[in-house]
Copies of this chain bind each other. A is one copy, B any other.
Amino acid sequence: MASSTDEATASASPAQGYAVGLDVGGTKILGVLVGPDGSVEGTLRLPTRWGPEGVVSSAAEAVTGLLDAAGVPVERLTSVGVGVPGLVDPASGGVQHAVNLGIDAETFLLASLLSEHLGGVPVSVDNDLNVAALGAASVTGGDVDLAFLALGTGLAAGIVLGGELRRGVSGAAGEIGHIPVDPRGPLCACGQRGCLETYASGTALGARWPSQHGRPAPAELFEAAAGGDERAVLVKNEFVTAVAAAIRLLVLSYDVEHVVLGGGVSILGAPLLDAVAVALEEQASSSPFLASLEIADRVRLCPTDVPVAAVGAALAGRRKVSKWKL
């Protein structure tokens, strides 16, 4: 009887307990502490240490840092959710090919290792785009259809349908960056030619307009274009046209209600959104069919005041625990 009581104390129900969500990126970890009522009660930012050992220890440090700052004992932590930029098996919590974290082809069991570090708290791991999509959906209102389009190193989307993640049978749903859109286009790192990613990613932008003044390439490009530099105008137009093509593709395949722009390039904010809207209107100007879909009205910027990926990771962790308990 005593042991049963102990167990109940050590694992509060998800509804009563706290959840932590971590967005583990190549340079930093963003963490949030979510309270029993679902509100964000604390945030934290730490540098990421690379390699399997480094990722586990810095993630554990982020969790304890969040708990300590809020004065919440670890016993009240019911779940941890982690988003990482790599190939993730959500069932096992194993990670592969997270190049930006120094993790190679060998499967690294992040979920179980981090859980051990934290005294057995359930840990779920998912792809960073998936948790970002889930976080963006929860910020938008929860039960929505939404694509989170990340314009970063690569180009890919996290997909939420009716509030639930669409992962696909092999975790490849939303890998639209590797759909070729020009048979004569540049070679892509994936081995194909003319992939959407070779036009619409942050990397593609940086290759065509490298940063020259120590600021992010997208900001320098948009400023040069605003200042009238003809080549900058051309490069900017090509880039936003490709982003518009990615959005059109998401709407024609999924017909989602919202497309949320995220990733490094989205820090441009309103000027990006405006330029993409113009490109979408231009594409629709020759096509009554496209125009009827009102694609430009579906596009949003990822909120910058909420760490959506960390919030989504916390949500994913809590949902996984709820399923375990059912």
SS of A interface (majority): loop
Please give, as numbers and ranges, the residues of chain B lying within 8 Å of A192 by CB-CB distance: 283, 286-287, 290
A290 near B178 (CB under 8 angstroms)? yes
A119 on the B face (CB < 8 A): no
A252 near B175 (CB under 8 angstroms)? yes
B190 near A289 (CB under 8 angstroms)? yes
| A9 → B minimal CB distance (Å) | 38
Stretch from A51-59, A180-188, A304-312 contacting the other chain: A180-188
Please give, as numbers and ranges, the residues of chain B lying within 8 Å of A253 by CB-CB distance: 173-176, 179, 249-250, 253-254
Which of B176, B183, B191, B250 contacts A289, CB < 8 Å? B191
A89 on the B face (CB < 8 A): no
A293 near B170 (CB under 8 angstroms)? yes
* Complex Cα gap A46–B290 (Å): 35
* Complex Cα gap A192–B167 (Å): 31
Within residues 197 to 255 of chain A, which ones have a CB less than 8 A from any CB in chain B? 245, 248-255
Question: How many chain A residues touch B (Cβ–Cβ < 8 Å)?
Answer: 42
Q: Which residue of B lies closest to A257 (CB)?
A: B169
A179 near B249 (CB under 8 angstroms)? yes
A191 near B290 (CB under 8 angstroms)? yes
* Complex Cα gap A302–B179 (Å): 25
Among A167, A172, A251, A290, the one with the most B-chain Cβ atoms within 10 Å of its Cβ is: A172
A288 on the B face (CB < 8 A): yes
| A87 → B minimal CB distance (Å) | 9
A168 near B290 (CB under 8 angstroms)? no
A256 on the B face (CB < 8 A): yes
Please give, as numbers and ranges, the residues of chain B lying within 8 Å of A178 by CB-CB distance: 252, 287, 289-290
Known: A252-B172, A253-B174, A257-B169. A245 touches B182 (CB 8 A): no
| A310 → B minimal CB distance (Å) | 25
* Complex Cα gap A292–B168 (Å): 14
* Complex Cα gap A249–B171 (Å): 15
B251 near A293 (CB under 8 angstroms)? no
| A166 → B minimal CB distance (Å) | 7
* Complex Cα gap A180–B170 (Å): 26
Q: Which residue of B lies closest to A192 (CB)?
A: B287
A23 on the B face (CB < 8 A): no
Q: Which residue of B lies closest to A175 (CB)?
A: B252
A161 on the B face (CB < 8 A): yes
30 A-B residue pairings within 8 Å (CB atoms): A145-B168, A145-B169, A166-B254, A168-B255, A169-B255, A169-B256, A170-B292, A170-B293, A172-B252, A172-B255, A172-B293, A173-B253, A173-B254, A174-B255, A175-B255, A176-B252, A176-B253, A178-B252, A181-B181, A181-B182, A181-B183, A182-B183, A190-B289, A190-B290, A191-B290, A192-B283, A192-B286, A249-B249, A250-B253, A253-B254
Measuring CB to CB, which residues of chain A are less than 8 angstroms from any residue of chain B? 145, 161, 166-176, 178-184, 190-192, 245, 248-257, 283, 286-290, 292-293
Q: Which 4 A-B pairs have the closest CB atoms?
A: A168-B255, A191-B287, A173-B255, A191-B286
